[in-house]
Amino acid sequence: MAKFVVTGHYCADVASKRTPYRQAHLAGLAQQKEQGILITLGPTQDLTRFFGIYEADTADQVKQLLEQDPYWQNGIWTDYEVMAWIQAI
């Protein structure tokens, strides 16, 4: 499997707007982590961006997971980019 780095932006007022979707979002991430697909994912301290690392067969698989997330479906994440990554160390 290949590794992929994910980055994107949050909407304005993310701290309040994410509240209704947060539990479903975290549950989905926990499931991806248990399956070994998600390595890590989280926000920057200022809550403007998010970063993650996935291990998957293809970038399309990662994109599908992102687009199924309640944060994407409800506009909490406003954009994202998936890049193939070579872990050197």
Query: How many alpha carbons lie under 13 Å from residue 64 in its C-beta half-sphere?
Result: 8
Topology of domain 2-85 in CATH is: Alpha-Beta Plaits (3.30.70)
Residue 76 is classified by DSSP as S
DSSP 3-state assignment of 88? coil
1 within 8 A of 85, measured Cβ to Cβ: no
Q: What does the domain layout of the chain look like in residue ranges?
A: 2-85
Separation of alpha carbons 20 and 52, rounded Å: 22
pLDDT in the model for residue 70: 98
pTM to 2 decimal places: 0.94
Separation of alpha carbons 26 and 6, rounded Å: 17
Ranges of residues in the chain with a pLDDT under 50 are none
